[in-house]
Structure 1
């Protein structure tokens, strides 16, 4: 058994995309988004225990897609919850007892670089956690309730991505608490225990596909990657 696992979270309905099919199942350059994401982790290490968290009602549709696209990468399905927090917790509950490191990744981020995944496991093994982040390019302003805004130094801020990788023992303990409103990602759940997270460099093209415009950009990235091979 491998000591590494990856939980790919795709428990949402993808309503912001506006179409009849959730974004995680839509094809990008001829391959559904989730299959692209699973492939990245499998290529990094074929022994990683791949766990795909989906709405339980989507299981049969996903299996149909796997047959249609002849997708054979080994993975396990876990039913999602009513929130991302609950979906991740369901994924953590399904881990094998031998697993010591787990990467938690948005299923709709199919363009994470192999090097980022590798580093996330290496750093998490040493430091307890590894959170992929990227620098900001734009100027930022902080809004107040009274409508006023103030300039902020962008060098002190980072955009948070996934994977967010952890030692299993710690992240399971972190997710044993009651869900709180400030839990916007796995790092905030981890921090709630009083632990400092460790940041690693992500890659800018590791976008979270959410809107139709994101799909257009994803198509561009996928085609460019194919042409560079």
Structure 2
């Protein structure tokens, strides 16, 4: 890849955190979650150009946070859409505008803002995987017994065949350009599912159980414990 980008999707709300403030702006340690996430990508050997997709209403709040925390890592802010699909598409359009004539040579990572503990090593593995695979996801195998069905009728499935998907997910930019020309569909639960709809295979990179997504209040406490361990 001649050029690398990461789209950090930060348009979520704080509904499941019992907070009026979206989770990516809550403090983890002494600074907002989103700053930790940006720092991880900036510190990686891949050092991708960083695009942050924000809800338009939160832009001024984020800019004030950056001033208050003396946060100066370069990043481009793009306004999000009404769904993740639309938000990612907005971020991609910024890349396509810059890299119009060489999309085949561009690698793009897409990452949840609320996964601030992603390791720089894993980030680099995801970009390196683009040398052999056009679509990559980070995932961990289930450690629990798994059943599929509804409460009244279910059946067990082999947990060794079950993967819990994380981010980042990395793709060739040309592939993403084709994939995000599709109409949005309810089956698009992540970016890999958009690409998969076109028939492309998805390569799995073994993830890290510490790469948690902060969704509920207890997740923030767990992330704080992991962060303290990383700093000791």
What is the count of residue pairs matched by the alignment? Answer: 225
Return structure 1 stretches of 4+ with deviation > 2 angstroms.
none
Unaligned regions of 5+ residues in structure 1, if any?
Answer: none
Aligned to 2:90: 90
Q: TM-score, normalised by structure 1?
A: 0.95
Quote the offset at 1:47 in angstroms: 4.4
SS in 1 for 2:144: coil
User: 1:165-184, aligned counterparts within 5 Å?
Assistant: 165-184=170-189
Unaligned regions of 5+ residues in structure 2, if any?
Answer: none
SS in 2 for 1:94: helix
Question: How far, CA to CA, are the matches of 2:118 and 2:63 in structure 1?
Answer: 24
Q: Say what the alpha-carbon RMSD is for the aligned residues.
A: 1.3
Q: Is the deviation greater in 82-91 or in 146-155?
A: 146-155
Residues 47, 220 of structure 1: CA spacing in aligned structure 2 closer, same or farther, 3 A cutoff?
A: closer
Question: Residue by residue, what CA displacement relative to the aligned partner does 1:186-222 show, whole Å, maximum 9, x if unpaired?
Answer: 0100001111111111111101101101111011111
SS in 1 for 2:169: strand
Aligned to 1:132: 138
Aligned to 1:73: 73
Aligned to 2:200: 195
SS in 2 for 1:169: helix
- Asked if structure 2 preserves the Cα contact closer than 8 Å seen for 1:125 and 1:167, the reply is no
Aligned to 2:215: 210
- Asked if structure 2 preserves the Cα contact closer than 8 Å seen for 1:125 and 1:166, the reply is no
Quote the offset at 1:152 in angstroms: 1.1
Question: How far, CA to CA, are the matches of 1:14 and 1:124 in structure 2?
Answer: 33
Question: How far, CA to CA, are the matches of 2:47 and 2:208 in structure 1?
Answer: 24
